[in-house]
Amino acid sequence: MAGARWNPERIAYGGDWSPEQWPEADWPAQLTALRDAGITTVTLGVFAWARLQPHPDVWDFAWFDRALDLLHREGFDVVLATPTASPPVWFSRAHPSSRVVDRDGVRLELGSRQNWCPSSPDYRRHASEVTRRLAERYADHPAVVLWHVNNELGCHNAECFCEVSAEAFRTWLRGRHETIDELNRAWGTAFWSQRYGSFDEIGAPARSTTFLNPAQVLDWRRFCSHELRRVLQLERDTLRSAGAKAPVTTNFMMGMGHAPGALDYHQWAQDVDVVSNDHYEVGWGDDEARLHEQVAWAGDLSRGVAEGRPWFLMEHAPSGVNWQRVNRSRRPGELRLATLGHVARGADAACFFQLVQSVAGAEKFHSAVIPHAGTQSRTYREASALGRELATLSEVVGSTVEASAALLFDWESAWAMQDPTMPSNDLQPMDTIRAAHRALGRLGTTADVVHPDRDLAGYRLLVVPSLYLCDDALAARLEGYARAGAEVVVTFFSGIADRDDRVRTGGYPGAFRGLLGVRSDAFTPLLPGIVVRAGGSDVGELAARTWTEEVEVRDAVVVARYDDGPWPGAAVLTRRAVGRGGAWYLASQLDVAGWRAVLARVGAELDARTPVPELSPRDGLLTDEVVEAIARGDLELVRRTGSGRAWTFALNHGTDPVRVRLPGEDLLTGRCAQVVELGAGGAAVVRAEVAGAV
């Protein structure tokens, strides 16, 4: 990341406001109500292109000037968005080749949004022009604190199969592979007679007869992420060269639902001054992953992508959304806990889509701070109460989150695992990492979700969850961390393939055989619903699903074995002592309870040597009551530290009250005490001075 720094003095509390949807006479009352709700920050312009440039040669900034000036007079900070997410209709009609072509070769019709091909030169030229004009006009506007490029790049147009895209793909492939022989090697085109004589013969991997070449598809996904990233770079560079000084961001879509997403944000993060994320909980929260565990995942991933720095929550929903099958409102108190959950995990901003609920269009039933009912509504009242609370948290801004564990995550590996030719389509790329993340949470351990290439030296516990594809160098690096004292937990289906998706031979798990001291020669995935019993004296009973292997133990200690299933008596969990640490292999998919038992055993190994804050009793914090509430998934405890102080966020998502020994001042209430008592849905942010904290 380079460029301007984002140094807010308070938690930015705000969201998208679309003055173009309202008569100008309504603006002042809307802004007064928003200010009364504690809103500090307004995102402006996201879908305003058609109003700013109603015809090819007509520009109309006067209304935008008035909106911006009014926001400034009323004391709001403005996140100024380039309006490039949706081009005006006249543009798309004049440049039909700019519209997206789907994998069936159908050019998509207008009438929705984001219908532009990422490679389209027409789109790029026009997007760049409106961006330039905006920056030239508002670079020095005193209200602008942040530039917001485009909106959720790739949300609906991550792939385009048009001829322009195919040509751009070929150019990208030339850059990556240099020669056609090298491409043929990397893609394994000896298989199925797929050999290419020249780059010109290669097409986009659109619909075909049956399975596509997985390496071609993986390169395509890399290319698609790269192509949209170029749009981010283009707009950012245009902003800068037109004089924009405020930091630049764009809203990523991380941790939403169970899919990995189409864009490699580890790379994208290099192009923004501050990482922003949009997050929407999915489902009702009564199923497997509870709502706050979804928030925790998104927060830990956002922070990992931001390399530990504070990040910006650009969008979440004040209450219900409008795009799930059934869209419920948030329960009383849910918004407060979700927001504090994001802040606990490093967000220094908490913004919404949207501030005023639309009365027309596809999102008219999406919630807003000011809903259809107006300010006489529970959502407005709760958002206002939250605004008052966030104002008490200014001293937390800029601090970092304490995490002793890291979960290794790589979008490329996840994409490769999504290929339908894997040993089991029931193993989805996010299954293992999400289960491990939830289990760590239920031990009270905060984990950073980080790219394998990151420096991992500070972490005591490293989890490598079904990291199918990785570099040759990773195993040696992990071995080094283990030697220095880390415990490394590698699961099944890790280290299998190299960066070209070519399988490592000699036995599974490929790259990690030596590190782990185990080997297997075949996978035996399980049919849905089949549960294999397993266990060991240190971890109790485990329920293994989805995956088994007949593990041959060469240089490791067996910690747990299968009791039945295809390999009764074979190892399912092993540990090899490595220097001052250890390397574990977990050969099956476990539920959260099983994962928790395994990670508690790993944590005990660490405790015996060097206490890991979240895994060991600290300052009397982890009483039985607290440990049980954390284990149920009710209590969330996360610490941010900075400037010699620590702030513990204690959030009770359960229905039972819980007492937590946290001496200090609760910023939310201003009360000092030794113990905080959290009722159902209760929250506290307790400040303590910490010796040694930085």
**Nearest alpha carbon to residue 451 among 411, 403, 495, 511:** 411
Q: How many CB atoms lie within 10 A of CB 279?
A: 27
Nearer to ligand GAL, 167 or 363 (CB): 363
**What residues line the site for ligand GAL (CB under 6 A)?**
151-152, 155, 278, 280, 315, 317, 321, 353, 363, 366
233: its two tokens: 């770079």
| Three-state secondary structure of 179-195 | CHHHHHHHHCCCHHHCC
Element (H, E) at 239: helix 214-241
Q: Residue 321 or residue 638: which is nearer to ligand GAL going by CB?
A: 321
Radius of gyration of the chain (CA): 26
* Min CB(452)–ligand GAL separation in Å: 28
- How many CA atoms lie less than 13 Å away from 604 in the CB half-sphere? 8
Nearer to ligand GAL by Cβ, of 152 and 159: the residue is 152
Q: Shortest distance, CB of residue 281 to ligand GAL, whole angstroms? A: 11
Q: Report the residue number, 367 or 377, with the smaller CB distance to ligand GAL.
A: 367
Shortest distance, position 152 Cβ to ligand GAL, whole Å: 4
Tell me the closest approach of the beta carbon of residue 372 to ligand GAL, in angstroms: 16
CA 12 to chain centre: 20
User: 117 and 157 in contact (C-beta within 8 Å)?
Assistant: yes
Sheet holding 248-249, edge to edge: 248-249, 144-148, 77-81, 41-44, 12-17, 347-352, 311-315, 276-278, 251-252
Shortest distance in whole angstroms from residue 357 CB to ligand GAL = 12
| Cα distance between residue 220 and residue 47, in whole Å | 29
Burial class (CB in 10 A: 0-12, 13-18, 19+), 669: middle
Q: Which residues pair with 450 in a beta bridge?
A: 408
Q: Give me the least distance between CB of 678 and ligand GAL, in Å please.
A: 30
Query: What is the Cβ-side half-sphere exposure of residue 87, based on CA atoms within 13 angstroms?
Result: 28
Nearer to ligand GAL, 272 or 516 (CB): 272
Least separation, in Å, of the C-beta of 42 and ligand GAL?
Answer: 15
Active-site residue flag, 315: yes
Buried b (16+ CB within 10 A) or exposed e, 232-260: bebbbebbbebebebbbbbbbbbbbebeb
- Write a three-state SS string for 39-73: CCEEEECCCCHHHHCCECCECCCHHHHHHHHHHHH
Name the residue nearer to ligand GAL (CB basis): 217 or 317. Answer: 317
**165 vs 319, which CB is nearer to ligand GAL?**
319
Tell me whether residue 203 or residue 320 sits nearer to ligand GAL (CB atom): 320
Burial grade of 620 (CB within 10 A; 0-12, 13-18, 19 or more):
exposed
Q: Look at residues 585, 639, 642, 577 and name the one whose alpha carbon lies nearest to residue 614.
A: 639
CB of 250 to ligand GAL, least distance (A): 11
Considering the candidates 159, 235, 281, 315, report the single residue annotated as catalytic.
315
Minimum gap (Å) between residue 46 Cβ and ligand GAL: 6
Q: Is the dihedral of CA 364, 297, 81, 412 positive or negative?
A: negative
CA 101 to chain centroid, in Å, comes to: 27
Q: Is 293 a catalytic residue?
A: no
Instruction: Give how far Cα 272 sits from Cα of 81, 228, 250, 327, Å.
Output: 14, 14, 7, 33
Q: Six-digit token pair at 597?
A: 């038992």
Compute the distance between CA of residue 164 and CA of residue 221 in angstroms, rounded to an integer.
Answer: 16
Spatial distance between the Cα atoms of 301 and 257, rounded to a whole number of angstroms: 13
68 vs 141: CA distance, rounded Å: 8
Q: What's the min distance (Å) between Cβ of 489 and ligand GAL?
A: 34
Pick 342 or 687: Cβ nearer ligand GAL: 342
Task: Count how many residues are written for the chain.
Answer: 694
Reduced to 3 states, what is the DSSP secondary structure of residue 478?
A: helix
Report, in Å, the least distance between residue 63 CB and ligand GAL.
20
Which residues form the catalytic set?
152, 315
